[in-house]
Amino acid sequence: MQNAPPPPLAPTPSPPPTPPLAGIMREPRSARGAYYNQRWALVVPILFLDFLVVSLPGGVLPVIINDEFGARSYSLVGWAQTTKGVLAFLTSPALGSCSDAVGRKWLFLLTVLGTACPNAALGLGFSLEVHLVLVGLSGLFAATFPLAFAYIADSVPPHERASAYGVAIGCGLGGAYLIGPPIGAVVNERYGSHAVFQVCLWISIVNALFATLAMRETDRPPPPPMRELLRRANPFGRWLLMTSDDP
């Protein structure tokens, strides 16, 4: 008597297919919550308009400064830029540290206005002497890009920050210097040099209003203790920390 063959085994269910590149395991935006969002993109037009104010009179300003001050032009501009650099070195770490405690938006707006102030003042009819003084004092608010990057870092996950920083620099700074000088030259040729600075003034007003109304404060991490904030605000301490071999 022949034995009956064993019944066929039931097929083992295959595991569900793995999505392509799922090994990267990017956390879905819903899981990240409101901490990460697209609000960082507002930084780009604000930076563009801010540095458009700087670049517009790029071909006009050296000529009128030389006409006004003659042989003293280079030394006056040099002292103004040196003062700006020294003040930026002293105050930029403090602004960045302060933004960790009080927020990014209003300090970023302050630096935007500080950058635009020297050229916008000429649009209001102030003298070149006032302009050069404001160039030097604008170093107090020369943390535009550090605060812009802090705003981006609060709104963008780590693996996307490099591209976001590149967009901010390329479209904001690069775009402004790409089209600013030619536009300034055309306005100067048709309407005169004062019209160039009046355009700078109106761009500054529009940019300030846009930043005030459109930007929202970021959901930044909790601020560190006051002692740590003061340590970060010390430019010499930060310099020693960067040059030390300690991890």
Sign of the four-CA dihedral 211, 213, 214, 216 = positive
> Do 113 and 204 contact (CB within 8 A), yes or no?
yes
The one-letter amino acid code at 50 reads D
171 or 22: which carries more pLDDT confidence? 171
pLDDT in tens, 199-232: 999 999 999 999 999 998 887 777 777 777 777 7
Q: Which phi and psi (to 5°) does residue 104 adopt?
A: -90, -40
Q: For residue 108, is pLDDT > 70? A: yes
Cα dist from 223 to 24, 36, 40, 89, whole Å: 30, 18, 20, 23
pLDDT for the residue 245? 52
pLDDT in tens, 5-25: 555 555 556 655 554 444 333
Report the C-alpha gap between 53 and 207 in whole angstroms.
10
Q: Which burial class, exposed, middle or buried, applies to 216 when counting CB atoms under 10 A from its CB (0-12, 13-18, 19+)?
A: exposed
Report the C-alpha gap between 61 and 59 in whole angstroms.
6
pLDDT for the residue 48? 96
pLDDT for the residue 6? 58
Map tokens 């070195």 to a residue: 89
